């Protein structure tokens, strides 16, 4: 009887350990989500990360909701088959278009997304209840951040501004030159002398402009919220509360649907470190 109990306990423990050592799945339409992977690496250095970038079908932002949903669910299936213990939707378009469907498919596996995490942090930071979001045209048009913020606190006023040039500028490596500064000036001039006190960087590419944006808004009292950092913090809290935190990991695996030119160089700029192994998978 006692032996049976011990073997049952062992099985439970093995299952728990297996879950704890399982990787966190992170996905994005392309390489942008590597800024989320970077933030998770920094906040949770003992976690294994499995990243999927849908580089064959990037960008999602200009596609219809239906198409994005189909792609996001294919990736979710891939990550679940790889045994991830948590899914982070690093893709703003994916979060806006397919979150409910991803949660349903994931079942017991917790799902976090950049929009919810960024919105939660903005609502907790704002003192004047005045928040602004910058993102791609698709993210802004979806109104997803606005909805998420209003679900948390309907009294918060939300301004939005699409900054379509930031993604290609980041990919060109122009994040602080004269052109980047001039572009920041054109896009963000409306936030100077305004009443907003929190600005969400609502696109995974935008953390690369954080220093230049901080410099431009230097005299304003605006807290800049990086949704990559926000989701990493939330992920850590969630893993701890669910007893899913790893203590022995720290590995990074990178999967892409196509390996475009300059991918390695770009990916390493976004991740902030060398990537030794990139695997191409067809979904």
Return the sign of the alpha-carbon dihedral for residues 167, 172, 173, 175.
negative
Would you count residue 265 as binding its own copies (CB under 8 A)?
no
| Cβ at position 94, least distance to its own copies in Å | 16
Verify binding: residue 254, its own copies, rule CB under 8 A.
no
SS (H, E, C) 258-276: CCCCCHHHHHHHHHCCCCC
DSSP bridge pairs for 199: 132, 224
The encoded tokens of residue 169 equal 């500028």
Neighbours of 119 (CB within 10 A): 30
Residue 264 Cβ, how far from its own copies at the closest point, in Å?
13
Interface with its own copies includes 138 (CB under 8 A)?
A: yes
- Closest CB to its own copies among 57 and 99? 57
Q: What is the largest CA-CA distance in the chain?
A: 75
11-40 positions binding its own copies, by CB under 8 A: none
If you ran DSSP here, which 8-state letter would residue 26 be given?
A: E
For the bound state, the minimum distance from the C-beta of residue 62 to its own copies, rounded and expressed in Å, comes to: 4
Give the angle 12-109-63 at the CA atoms, nearest 5°: 160
- Does residue 262 touch its own copies according to CB under 8 A? yes
- Return the number of other C-beta atoms located less than 10 Å from residue 171's C-beta: 18
279 sits near its own copies (criterion: CB under 8 A): no
- Nearer to its own copies by Cβ, of 177 and 241: the residue is 177
Return d(Cα 31, Cα 1) in angstroms, integer: 54
- Backbone phi, psi, residue 159, to 5°: -105, 150
Based on the residue annotation, tell me whether 203 is a catalytic residue of this protein: yes
Sole window of 34-42, 159-167, 192-200, 247-255 interacting with its own copies (rule: CB under 8 A): 159-167
Pick from 259, 264, 268, 272 the residue near its own copies by CB under 8 A.
259
Under rule CB under 8 A, residue 165 binds its own copies: yes
| Catalytic position from the list 40, 111, 203, 231 | 203
* Residues engaged in binding its own copies (CB under 8 A): 55-58, 62-64, 67, 137-138, 141, 164-165, 167-169, 171-172, 174, 178-179, 182-183, 186, 258-262
- Active-site residue list: 91, 203
């Amino acid at each position: 009887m006692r032996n049976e109990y011990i073997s049952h306990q062992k099985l439970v423990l093995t299952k728990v350990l297996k879950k704890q050592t399982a990787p966190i799945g992170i996905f994005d339409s392309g390489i942008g989500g590597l800024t989320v992977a970077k933030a998770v690496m920094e906040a949770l250095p003992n976690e294994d990360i499995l990243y999927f970038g849908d580089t064959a079908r990037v960008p999602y932002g200009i596609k219809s909701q239906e198409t994005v949903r189909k792609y996001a669910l294919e990736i979710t299936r891939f990550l679940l088959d790889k045994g991830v213990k948590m899914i982070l939707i690093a893709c703003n378009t994916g979060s806006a278009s397919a979150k409910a469907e991803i949660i349903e498919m994931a079942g017991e596996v917790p799902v976090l997304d950049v929009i919810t995490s960024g919105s939660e942090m903005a609502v907790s930071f704002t003192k004047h209840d005045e928040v602004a979001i910058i993102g791609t045209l698709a993210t802004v048009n979806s109104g997803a951040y606005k909805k998420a913020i209003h679900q948390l606190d309907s009294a918060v006023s939300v301004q939005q501004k699409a900054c379509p040039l930031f993604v290609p500028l980041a990919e060109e490596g122009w994040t602080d030159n004269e052109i980047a500064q001039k572009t920041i000036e054109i896009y963000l001039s409306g936030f100077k002398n305004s009443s907003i006190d929190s600005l969400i960087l609502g696109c995974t590419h935008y953390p690369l402009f954080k220093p230049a944006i901080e410099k431009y808004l230097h005299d304003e009292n605006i807290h800049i919220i990086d949704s990559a950092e926000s989701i990493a913090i939330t992920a850590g809290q969630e893993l701890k509360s669910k007893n899913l935190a790893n203590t022995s990991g720290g590995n990074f695996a990178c999967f892409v649907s196509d390996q475009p030119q300059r991918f390695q160089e770009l990916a390493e700029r976004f991740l902030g470190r060398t990537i030794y192994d990139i695997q191409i998978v067809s979904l």
